[in-house]
């Protein structure tokens, strides 16, 4: 028998305040709190060099993006700019589980993914500036970093757009007989509201495509909390409804992310079927550079910062005698120097001559 769907009493009057849109609570696990995602791994179970590399990775993203925010204020970088600050443990945990033959697809919040996939910081910074030395020849900017050599397929501005692209890449791999190649697809939890999410998961499961779906759940899609747009916030259950096995992971803990991603990537690689990870994280900065952040309290942001992915990890490493303050400072200095070199590279770059403005945009007769 059909049940009557919940409906708003006044459809033209958008709901206000926190909590689900209308009626009772959304189905699914309670939203994560920063305390529930506290870094709890025993770092001594892990290799020291591996841990140092992950600290370096996260610092490179953090320092790159802090400088980008500054450059945006100076109007050196224009257009949109979405920072990943606070979410670094996700990209830093996943990337080492991927192989060179794998494909990577990300969203407009992708600077860190591109960097850790191996796109050079110079080419990224030049792209931010819109210079032709950029990885997309200055045609893409912040939201459209792209690099064929590292199989980094964007940089996608359309919410959910990357999912369909990932399914197509995986289908191509199957048809071309690229055995063992995985397509890693990063997307925000906001994409779950898009038809493209459901179509992509369905086809990936139906056609047995090697896609690793990586949902970066940072609790908000611009100013909309998940429970205000979804009747069910159990994203792992949504993947399961398409027959895709998944898990919910602490995305503030780089080692937890890595363990989960390594195992999920192995399963995708070996079984040639998709897997799904929901990575709980939090962005410390505004959605983009234009966002008054009226949808969350400053106290909430501060509470999450207490559990930031870099310092919680380095505190643990230091306490375990696996990282000294000098080593940490040296890593940080190296990241800062790399960023400054990239800024010099971008500054010295060239603007595209006007006669080439339509290259790669329209087909030439």
Ligand X SMILES: Cc1ncc(C[n+]2csc(CCOP(=O)(O)OP(=O)(O)O)c2C)c(N)n1
Binding site for ligand X (CB under 6 A): 107, 109, 157-160, 188-191, 216, 218, 220-222, 287
Rounded CA-CA distance 293/288 in Å is 10
Listed ranges 70-78, 110-118, 151-159, 217-225: which one lies at the site for Mg ion (CB under 5 A): 217-225
Rounded CA-CA distance 351/348 in Å is 10
Does residue 107 bind Mg ion (CB under 5 A)?
no
Rounded CA-CA distance 15/184 in Å is 36
Q: Which does 85 bind (CB under 5 to 8 A by kind): ligand X, Mg ion, none?
A: none
Of residues 183 and 217, the one with the C-beta less far from Mg ion: 217
Q: How far is the CB of 49 from ligand X (least distance, A)?
A: 31
SS3 content of the chain, % helix, strand, coil (to 5): 45, 10, 45
Which two tokens mark 332? Answer: 């940080």
Reading phi first (left if > 0) and then psi (alpha if -120 to 50, else beta), residue 154 is in left
Listed ranges 94-102, 103-111, 210-218, 266-274: which one lies at the site for Mg ion (CB under 5 A): 210-218
**Nearest to 82, CA basis, from 109, 112, 62, 113:** 109
Rounded CA-CA distance 118/135 in Å is 11
Of residues 46 and 109, the one with the C-beta less far from ligand X: 109
Q: How far is the CB of 340 from ligand X (least distance, A)?
A: 27
User: Which residue pairs from 156-160 have beta carbons closer than 8 angstroms and sit at least 24 positions apart in sequence?
Assistant: 156/105, 156/106, 156/107, 156/108, 156/110, 157/80, 157/108, 159/107, 159/187, 159/188, 159/190, 159/191, 159/194, 159/221, 160/187, 160/191, 160/194, 160/195, 160/196, 160/197, 160/200
Q: How far is the CB of 223 from ligand X (least distance, A)?
A: 9
Of residues 65 and 189, the one with the C-beta less far from Mg ion: 189
Pairing relation of β-strands 275-280 and 224-225?
A: unpaired
Q: Give the sheet arrangement for strand 103-105, strand by strand.
A: 103-105, 183-188, 211-217, 275-280, 246-250
Q: What is the DSSP string of 294-324?
A: TTS-HHHHHHHHTT-HHHHHHHHHHHTTS--
Listed ranges 173-181, 183-191, 227-235, 300-308: which one lies at the site for Mg ion (CB under 5 A): 183-191
Q: How far is the CB of 276 from ligand X (least distance, A)?
A: 15
Of residues 190 and 210, the one with the C-beta less far from Mg ion: 190
Q: How far is the CB of 240 from Mg ion (least distance, A)?
A: 21
Of residues 134 and 190, the one with the C-beta less far from Mg ion: 190
Q: How far is the CB of 193 from ligand X (least distance, A)?
A: 8
Does residue 140 bind Mg ion (CB under 5 A)?
no
Rounded CA-CA distance 190/185 in Å is 14
Listed ranges 175-183, 184-192, 259-267, 357-365: which one lies at the site for Mg ion (CB under 5 A): 184-192
Listed ranges 42-50, 175-183, 196-204, 214-222: which one lies at the site for Mg ion (CB under 5 A): 214-222
Rounded CA-CA distance 275/204 in Å is 9
- # binding residues, Mg ion (CB under 5 A): 5
Does residue 218 bind Mg ion (CB under 5 A)?
yes
- The dihedrals phi and psi of 7, each to the nearest 5 degrees, come to -140, 150
Q: How far is the CB of 258 from ligand X (least distance, A)?
A: 20
Residue facing ligand X at closest CB distance:
188
Q: Which does 157 bind (CB under 5 to 8 A by kind): Mg ion, ligand X, none?
A: ligand X
Of residues 216 and 338, the one with the C-beta less far from ligand X: 216
Does residue 188 bind Mg ion (CB under 5 A)?
yes
Of residues 140 and 210, the one with the C-beta less far from ligand X: 140
Of residues 59 and 196, the one with the C-beta less far from ligand X: 196
- The dihedrals phi and psi of 109, each to the nearest 5 degrees, come to -100, 55
Of residues 300 and 327, the one with the C-beta less far from Mg ion: 300
Binding site for Mg ion (CB under 5 A): 188-190, 218, 221
């Amino acid at each position: 028998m059909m049940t009557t769907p919940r409906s708003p009493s006044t459809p033209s009057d958008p709901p206000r305040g926190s909590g689900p849109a209308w009626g009772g609570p959304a189905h699914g696990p309670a939203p994560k709190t920063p305390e529930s995602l506290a870094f709890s791994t025993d770092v001594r179970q892990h290799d020291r060099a591996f841990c140092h590399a992950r600290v370096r990775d996260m610092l490179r993203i953090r320092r790159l993006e802090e400088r980008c925010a500054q450059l945006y204020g100076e109007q050196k970088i224009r257009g949109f700019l979405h920072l990943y600050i606070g979410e670094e443990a996700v990209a830093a945990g996943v990337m080492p589980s991927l192989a060179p033959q794998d494909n990577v697809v990300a969203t407009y919040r992708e600077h860190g993914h591109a960097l850790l996939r191996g796109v050079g910081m110079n080419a990224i910074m030049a792209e931010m500036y819109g210079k032709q030395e950029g990885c997309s020849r200055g045609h893409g900017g912040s939201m459209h970093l792209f690099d064929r050599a590292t199989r980094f397929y964007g940089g996608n501005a359309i919410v959910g757009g990357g999912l369909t692209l990932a399914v197509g890449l995986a289908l191509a791999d199957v048809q071309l007989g690229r055995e063992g190649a995985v397509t890693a697809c990063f997307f925000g939890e906001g994409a779950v509201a898009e038809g493209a999410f459901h179509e992509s998961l369905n086809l990936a499961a139906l056609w047995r495509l090697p896609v690793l779906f990586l949902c970066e759940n940072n609790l908000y899609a611009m100013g909309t909390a998940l429970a205000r747009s979804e009747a069910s916030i159990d994203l792992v259950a949504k993947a399961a409804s398409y027959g895709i096995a998944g898990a919910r992971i602490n995305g503030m803990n780089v080692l937890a992310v890595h363990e989960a991603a390594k195992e999920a990537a192995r399963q995708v690689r070996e079984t040639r079927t998709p897997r799904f990870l929901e990575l709980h994280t939090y962005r410390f900065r505004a959605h983009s550079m234009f966002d008054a952040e009226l949808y969350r309290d400053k106290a909430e942001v501060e509470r999450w910062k207490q559990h930031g992915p870099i310092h919680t990890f380095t505190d643990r490493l230091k306490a375990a005698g696996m990282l000294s303050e000098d080593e940490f400072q040296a890593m940080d200095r190296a990241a800062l120097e790399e960023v400054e070199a990239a800024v010099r590279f971008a500054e010295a770059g060239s603007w595209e001559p006007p006669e080439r403005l339509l290259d790669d945009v329209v087909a030439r007769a």
